Structure 1
Amino acid sequence: MSAGHTDGTVGKALGLLDMVVGFGRPVRFVEVQQVSDMPKATLYRLLQTLTNQRMLSYDEERSTYQPGLRLVQLAHSAWRQVTLAPVARPHLDALSAKLGETVHLAQLDGGQVLYIDKRNATRPISMFSDAGKIGPGYCTGVGKAMLAYLPEAELARALSQQSWFGHTEHTHTTPDSLRNELPDIRRTGISFDREEHEPTIICIAVPILDATQRPLGAMSITSSTLRHSLTDLERFAPDLHATASAIARDATGLSLPINTVIA
Structure 2
Amino acid sequence: MNNYSIPNLKNACLAIKRLADEETGLSIAELVEELEVPRTSMLRIVSTLEEEGFLRRSGRKYQLGTTMLAFGLTALKESNIREVARPMLKDLSLATSETSHIAQLAGKQILIMEVCDSPHPVRAASRAGTLADVHCSATGKVLLAYTVSDLADFFDDMTLTRRTANTITTLPDLAKEVEQTRQQGFGVDNEEYTIGVRCLAAPVRNAVNDVVAAIGITASVTTFTQRRIKEISEIVTATAQELSSRLGAS
- The CA RMSD over aligned residues, in Å, is 3.5
Q: Aligned to 1:80, which of 64, 77, 82? A: 77
SS at match of 2:105: strand
Q: Aligned to 1:237, which of 233, 239, 243? A: 233
* Deviations 1:109-144, CA, capped at 9 Å, x for gaps: 2231110011111224354x4110110110001100
Post-superposition offset of 1:172: 0.7
Relative distance call for 1:115 and 1:46 in structure 2 (3 A) is closer
SS at match of 1:247: helix
Contact 1:138 1:162 in 2 (8 A): no
SS at match of 1:205: strand
Mapped pair 1:117 → 2:114 = yes
Q: Tell me what 1:8 maps to.
A: 11
Describe how 1:26-175 pairs up with structure 2 within 5 A: 50=52, 74-75=71-72, 77-82=74-79, 84-123=81-120, 124-127=122-125, 129-153=126-150, 155-160=151-156, 162-175=158-171
Determine the C-alpha separation between the residues in 2 that align with 1:15 and 1:156.
Answer: 18
Relative distance call for 1:164 and 1:227 in structure 2 (3 A) is same
* Higher mean displacement: 142-151 or 113-122: 142-151
Contact 1:221 1:233 in 2 (8 A): no
Question: Where does structure 2 lack aligned partners over 5 or more consecutive residues?
Answer: 1-7, 20-41, 55-64
**TM, length-normalised to structure 2:** 0.69
Relative distance call for 1:137 and 1:6 in structure 2 (3 A) is farther
Contact 1:83 1:116 in 2 (8 A): no
Q: Tell me what 1:260 maps to.
A: none
SS at match of 2:147: coil
Contact 1:110 1:161 in 2 (8 A): no
Post-superposition offset of 1:42: 6.8
Q: Tell me what 1:214 maps to.
A: 210
SS at match of 2:153: helix
Post-superposition offset of 1:212: 5.6
Q: Tell me what 2:186 maps to.
A: 190
Post-superposition offset of 1:193: 0.5
Determine the C-alpha separation between the residues in 1 that align with 2:169 and 2:189.
Answer: 14
Relative distance call for 1:113 and 1:76 in structure 2 (3 A) is closer
Identity of aligned residues (%): 26
Q: Aligned to 2:248, which of 232, 246, 252? A: 252
Residue identity in the other structure for 1:165:
T
Relative distance call for 1:223 and 1:11 in structure 2 (3 A) is same
Contact 2:73 2:129 in 1 (8 A): no
Mapped pair 1:223 → 2:219 = yes
